Amino acid sequence: MSLATREAFNGFKRSPVLSLLSITTIAFSLYAFGLFGLVALNIRSALAQVEDRVEIRAFVADGTSAEATSAAAGDIGAFPEVQSVTFVTSEQALVRARKELGEFSDVFEAGILPASLDVRLKPGFRDPNTVKAVAERLKSYDFTDDVRYGEEWVQKLYRIRNIATLAGLVLGFAFAGVAVIIIGSTIRMSVLARAREISIMRLVGATDGFIRSPFLIDGAVKGTFGGILALLLTWVSYSLITRFVITAQFFDVRLVVLGVLAGAVLGLVGSALSVSRHLRSV
């Protein structure tokens, strides 16, 4: 084991309480980050499911021939944004309305609802602008009586997602900042605790890089342990939520590894920022 690694672990042994406190604070910072990440992940996942249901309905004008409708459906189906086009007859529209809306349960007269072409868009083309653009193109067809796509609904959906993403980024960076500050403080204590050792290292000609390396390893190891602890806490919270509140989704393996790595990187960045500043005062 190299001297730098040994010194980093000696730091743990020399001040176990301080080290545990550092790891715990890092863990709680990352835990808050993890919890928010979990909420964001589940909001995004729910939004993706809702987004799947985004549909443009082009109502077919009375008297339009079946051939014309069929040709239009083929034409629309060739749009690059379009995933599928379904022709819904007046009768099918009534069946659907009776199933979905209570007030149609007593209506049995076919023809009260217009036939329509129900257009579904491919994933990645379900944003408000694309939906609106496709709807405008559908309006330009002679057979269309009206085009509905729940404009406000689509926009609200995206607004929620954008707010969730923005809040995630803002809070994520805030928590990351807190973690860096906490790690920086623990490294500062560590530098001060080892002031004599550092001054001797300098006297005998150790390079700055060599003097820094135990602190960087220390920060990265604490960050990694903090990341693992935060992961466990997040998993326990997720299990409790899934068991008692609502079935939720957990991070996949890639995100789990990324989370622990983020802990290590935060630890490294925190110690790097702190060690340069405080070594000058030793």
Chain positions contacting another protein, by CB under 8 A: 3, 14, 196-197, 199-208, 210
Q: Contact 80/119 with Cβ under 8 angstroms?
A: no
Q: Work out how close the CB of 3 gets to another protein at its nearest, in angstroms, rounded to a whole number.
A: 5
Question: Among residues 83 and 276, whose Cβ is nearest to another protein?
Answer: 276
Give ∠ CA 84-89-95 in degrees, rounded to 5: 105
User: To which residue do tokens 């301080």 refer?
Assistant: 18
Residue among 164, 149, 173 at smallest CA distance from 45: 164
Question: Among residues 200 and 240, whose Cβ is nearest to another protein?
Answer: 200
What whole-number distance in Å separates Cα of residue 82 and Cα of residue 235? Answer: 39
Cα 229 from chain centroid (whole Å): 21
**What's at 209, amino acid-wise?**
G
Question: Among residues 46 and 206, whose Cβ is nearest to another protein?
Answer: 206
The token pair that represents 191 in the structure block = 């530098």
Q: Work out how close the CB of 163 gets to another protein at its nearest, in angstroms, rounded to a whole number.
A: 49
Question: Among residues 84 and 199, whose Cβ is nearest to another protein?
Answer: 199
The token pair that represents 275 in the structure block = 């060690």
Q: Work out how close the CB of 17 gets to another protein at its nearest, in angstroms, rounded to a whole number.
A: 17
Question: Among residues 158 and 210, whose Cβ is nearest to another protein?
Answer: 210
The token pair that represents 8 in the structure block = 């980093």
Q: Work out how close the CB of 33 gets to another protein at its nearest, in angstroms, rounded to a whole number.
A: 37
Q: Work out how close the CB of 19 gets to another protein at its nearest, in angstroms, rounded to a whole number.
A: 16
Q: Work out how close the CB of 226 gets to another protein at its nearest, in angstroms, rounded to a whole number.
A: 27
Residue among 169, 223, 145 at smallest CA distance from 33: 169
Three-state SS for 235-253 is: HHHHHHHHHHCCCCCCCCH
87 three-state secondary structure: strand
Q: Work out how close the CB of 126 gets to another protein at its nearest, in angstroms, rounded to a whole number.
A: 56
What single string gives the DSSP state of each residue in 103-155? GGTT---TTSS--EEEEEEPTT--SHHHHHHHHHHHHTSTTEEEEE--HHHHH
Q: Work out how close the CB of 204 gets to another protein at its nearest, in angstroms, rounded to a whole number.
A: 4
Question: Among residues 6 and 159, whose Cβ is nearest to another protein?
Answer: 6
Question: Among residues 204 and 253, whose Cβ is nearest to another protein?
Answer: 204
Query: Rg of the chain over CA atoms, in angstroms?
Result: 30
Question: Among residues 214 and 267, whose Cβ is nearest to another protein?
Answer: 214
